[in-house]
Chains A and B, each alone.
Chain A
């Protein structure tokens, strides 16, 4: 038998797969074959490494060298240089965005070095389709340990750890389990909520794709603790890879007898079923989700009663988010004290965020609670592209709010964010720079919730429509005196009178941007001006004559012939033809085109 001397782990997360990771893998295998070292090098798929924008990515062990933006052609170079001769291929290494510094190993790069990986502990290390590799990393040890404890003891451990639900509301997980254990009724159920409907969120998908066994193990421990013998995964149908990996994992666990009857000879039996979600945002709400599993329409119902008492088929049910469950095994193994030593006073552990927007390193990150936005944006995130100024971050997606620059140093946790009108939410984190219009941000999220409202209750259905109409008027330069007050009033009514969390939180992005950026709303309404120069109706493009070299590029890229001029002469933009696509602005090599307030050009 040949001795394996190197492992190449190729990220097989959704993003990397769609940027052709498997093609790279194919040519890597071929190149290894040609070099005659196929036997010495193991090539393994792994879960999302986090740097999804740089995909496909691969890590070469034992050195831990991290390669990015891999093309199939690069495989040969890696084999001939690195794997054969031990020479690191510099041009394929990660480069720090601001300093242009090059880092060979994954653990050194700014994006990873500042993270604390509990939930993402196995990403980039194990193959998600191999239960053995999961077991090698202490997998199912926590289940084995839990089964030797009393269920009450398990619950007590989770309670003392301080773990709170990662699905949005932040409800203490141990308490939820205790309520379900104590609730009357049999059988009891566990549900894992993998609906993940926030636009831009992909934390739960990545966890299911990259380490499905960790969620399965968490669910089984939950089942043991509350006295359930059946669990359901509810995963949105748009996540085919997550579903596939989960199916494989369930099958492997079943074959090993880790799911089924009399698990590890302890007398505990547990079975798991997988259900595909329809994809509606509201189906992530727990009562709607339960209705959907029961085969009814995915519509919310009033709470109480809570699922802990009356859940699936009216039986006591624990419903937990994917990330919540992925935290369970480490807590059981390492103890409540270990977990509660991480984070802040009332928010323990870490949070996984999908970092997106105007930041150099986007992707999946995991940081302890109490980390500041400044650390996330400028250290993990590597700063803002193009040297632009940070303006605000949006957390919690369409249910959340914004954090303006003056709170860059606020330690992020459930309480601190709530205090400033934002939420931790499920983990969407969108960074905005000076070019982002906050009114438009509010409109974007409200448009989403408005279209996702199930329509069951009027405040949500009608109220969000009214608010959206006002926002659209404002953005189009047709805002009126009193619009801001109307938005606040409508927002508060919707929050109070809606049946479920969707309606109850839908106005948050609007209310929160009004709170911190009221001047921007006022500029739109009173001066018909968009300070970020982003709202199309309120800006115009024009040529700065002094800077124009007459190169004619603008005239060539303009799709409607609005940018005009004779070769080598100063060009101009015909305001009546211009559709404000911004192409000329982006392409002018001399910076000779500017965005201006529309009022300035009308006169």
Chain B
């Protein structure tokens, strides 16, 4: 390291490494990962979400999972929570749907109503 620029470069690279631990959670994507969710392909959905976020270099979204919510026939379920907005639950989210949800809802703030199972205020 020879200069301030070098230090800055290393810092930017390293920040990706600790991003999950330090960032303020802005938008949250929560994937239902109960036994039936996993059977219905929730893991593939989860991986697609992560992959799509990485491809688009979206940094301020936290992806977590939740357990069974008793709505097995609609699995895989994906919740999207944006700050100050109601929680949107999408149903039967295949990897393809997941990628579209990111493109439309996360990036452009357009909820895809067709796939919405429920909307919950005040979270």
Contacts and interface: CB of A to CB of B under 8 A. Distances in A.
Contacts of B38: 84-85
B20 A144 contact: no
Contacts of A86: 30-33, 64-67
Interface string A293-329: 0000000000000000000000000000000000000
A3 B68 CA distance: 24
Interface in A1-48: 3-7, 9, 40, 42
B17 A63 contact: no
B2 A257 contact: yes
Interface residues of A, number: 33
A140 B7 CA distance: 8
A526 B61 CA distance: 71
Nearest to B31: A86
Contacts of A7: 18, 20-21
Interface stretch (B8-16, B86-94, B99-107, B109-117): B8-16
A5 B63 contact: yes
A3 B48 CA distance: 10
B67 A4 contact: no
A258 B1 contact: yes
Contacts of A40: 50
A62 B10 contact: no
B10 A9 contact: no
Contacts of B18: 7, 125-126, 133, 136-137
Given A5-B46, A85-B33, A258-B1, A135 B14 contact: yes
Contacts of B35: 85
A378 interface: no
Contacts of A137: 18, 22
B56 to A, nearest CB: 12
B3 A264 contact: yes
Contacts of B123: none
Interface of B is mostly: helix
A61 B17 CA distance: 12
A144 B7 contact: yes
B20 A4 contact: yes
Given A62-B63, A86-B31, A136-B11, A6 B17 contact: no
B31 to A, nearest CB: 7
Interface in B24-69: 25, 30-35, 37-38, 46-47, 50-51, 53-54, 62-68
A256 B67 contact: no
A264 B64 contact: no
Contacts of B68: 85
A87 B66 contact: yes
Contacts of B15: 136
A574 interface: no
A305 to B, nearest CB: 39
Given A62-B63, A84-B33, A86-B67, A264 B22 contact: no
B79 to A, nearest CB: 11
Contacts of A63: 62, 64
Contacts of B17: 132-133, 136
B14 to A, nearest CB: 4
Given A61-B20, A62-B62, A87 B67 contact: yes
Interface in A77-115: 84-87
B34 A85 contact: yes
Interface in A233-290: 256-258, 264-265
Interface of A: 3-7, 9, 40, 42, 59, 61-63, 84-87, 125-126, 132-133, 135-141, 144, 256-258, 264-265
27 contacts: A6-B20, A7-B18, A7-B21, A9-B21, A61-B20, A62-B20, A62-B21, A62-B25, A62-B63, A62-B64, A84-B33, A84-B38, A85-B33, A85-B65, A125-B21, A125-B22, A126-B21, A132-B14, A133-B17, A136-B14, A136-B17, A144-B4, A144-B7, A257-B2, A258-B1, A264-B2, A265-B3
Interface of B: 1-4, 6-7, 10-11, 13-15, 17-18, 20-23, 25, 30-35, 37-38, 46-47, 50-51, 53-54, 62-68
